[in-house]
Amino acid sequence: MNNKVILAFSGGLDTSFCVPYLKNEKGLEVHTVMVNTGGFSIEEEKEIEQRALALGAKTHKNVDAIDEYYKKGIKYLLFGNILKNSTYPLSVSSERAFQAMAVLEHVKEIDAAYVAHGSTGAGNDQIRFDLVFEVLAPEVKVIAPVRELKLSRKDEIEYLKECGFDFSWEKAKYSINLGLWGSSVGGVETLTSNGVLPEEAYPSQITEKEPIKVKISFDQGEPVAIDGHKYTPVEIINKLNILGGKYGVGRDVHVGDTIIGVKGRVAFEAAAPLILIKAHHLLEKHVLTKGQLYWKEQLSGWYGQLMHEAQYLDPLMRNIEAFLDDTQKYVSGSVEVELRPYHFSVLGCESKFDMMSTKFGDYGEVNKLFTDEDVVGFTKVLANPLKIYYSVHKDD
């Protein structure tokens, strides 16, 4: 009988509990996999591997999914200027589908009959993992020990101690999930509707106070350079996260509806996503048409909703991605941004595709494409439907 289980492993308390539980109580051969979508350093990856093996995993694998996550996820969040509820850049929620798909690749590699994760029954992540597993590998049984047993943090620690594992599990005051596209921050203050996180709760602390200007270059919608120096998009995101973090840029609180129907509140720090989205959006305003901008906003909002609610595998997502790809053909140029403590401003842009061109006239001053008589006639035609309406409905 196939008793292999692949456990999505992060090294935290919940997934650490799962290793001996699956091995001792379920009699399974545990293989752990950590999928890095930008939240772990090389040193942390090594520590996570050591912990997994010490807990009893037969094998452990670290998977670098950062480039995959950017190319198939983050890129489209940027192309769509996606901020859920006009606030949140989907910093953590957009990672889960890519982590789940990478875990399933390992399931196939070792032909495991089971796949497991450490999500509780209280949030969105359980749905995100389960749905990917259900759609792509319905023959593989999903196990979620913490959810199924309804365990408290204390219960998990006691079980690990009984198994001989006395790691330090001091609960941090704030729960922080670090990622390439920003970090979430949860604490007692986010459990109420009016709590405010203190300065020290955020991953980055302010060390710079003097304003600085940064020029970000885009090529067909993707960031390609900072101040004239070329980097990969992932490198630019990392650099802007560090630079913006020194100014406390990118902090906010997201309030939204969870997949399971309750409202939630979480703080986040996402310097690079907010800077890039605002800079990219400004460039688009100059190079795209009114219709393109309108339909991008409609489809991008729905794309973000589907991404957040675990529907990444919906074929509609590929349709919207094809549309977004096509809209970026002329989104090339540079945007200047100024950083200040707790704030940034998008100052202006340059692009050879800029439709705000002086050869057509100067806005508010002179127009070179038609005469004043043309405007009078155009206005009469434009007003005609409303004139008819109000002649019929005189009392309105």
Q: What is the pLDDT of residues 162-174, one digit of tens each?
A: 999 988 777 668 8
Q: Summarize the confidence of residues 179-196 as an average pLDDT.
A: 92
Q: What is the pLDDT confidence band of residue 372, given thresholds at 50, 70 and 90?
A: confident
Q: Which range among 11-20, 205-214, 306-315, 367-376 shows the weakest confidence by mean pLDDT?
A: 367-376
Helix axes 13-20 and 42-55, enclosed angle (nearest 10):
30
Domain coordinates of the chain in residue numbers?
4-171, 176-288+330-350, 360-392
Q: Summarize the confidence of residues 216-243 as an average pLDDT.
A: 98
pLDDT in tens, 73-84: 999 999 999 999
Q: What is the per-residue pLDDT for 68?
A: 97
Alpha-carbon distance of 237 to 230, in angstroms, equals 13
* Closest C-alpha among 70, 150, 95 to residue 310: 95
Helices (H), strands (E): how many in the chain? 13, 16
Cβ partners under 8 Å of residue 91, min gap 6:
179, 181, 182, 183, 184, 268, 270, 273
Q: What is the per-residue pLDDT for 122?
A: 81
pTM of the model: 0.92
For 263, phi then psi, to 5°, come to: -85, 145
pLDDT in tens, 232-275: 999 999 999 999 999 999 999 999 888 888 888 999 999 999 99
Q: Which range among 53-62, 131-140, 245-254, 365-374 shows the weakest confidence by mean pLDDT?
A: 365-374
Q: What is the per-residue pLDDT for 364?
A: 58
Q: Summarize the confidence of residues 181-186 as an average pLDDT.
A: 93
Report the Cα 364 to chain-centroid distance in Å. 39
Alpha-carbon distance of 123 to 344, in angstroms, equals 32
Cβ partners under 8 Å of residue 208, min gap 6:
246, 247, 339, 341
Fold of domain 4-171: Rossmann fold (3.40.50)
User: Does the pLDDT at position 361 exceed 70?
Assistant: no
Helix axes 271-287 and 233-245, enclosed angle (nearest 10):
120
Token pair 């090594």 is found at 46
Q: Which two tokens stand for residue 101?
A: 């798909």
- 3-class DSSP state of 141: strand
Alpha-carbon distance of 239 to 178, in angstroms, equals 15
Q: Which range among 60-74, 184-198, 225-239, 315-329 shows the weakest confidence by mean pLDDT?
A: 184-198
Task: Indicate the residue type of 215.
Answer: K
Q: What is the per-residue pLDDT for 396?
A: 75
Looking at domain 176-288+330-350, its CATH superfamily turns out to be Argininosuccinate synthetase, chain A, domain 2 (3.90.1260.10)
**Are β-strands 29-36 and 59-64 bridged in parallel, bridged antiparallel, or unpaired?**
parallel
User: Does the pLDDT at position 285 exceed 60?
Assistant: yes
Alpha-carbon distance of 87 to 256, in angstroms, equals 10
Q: What is the per-residue pLDDT for 368?
A: 74
% pLDDT > 90, the chain: 84
Q: How many CB atoms are located within 10 Å of the residue 229 CB?
A: 11
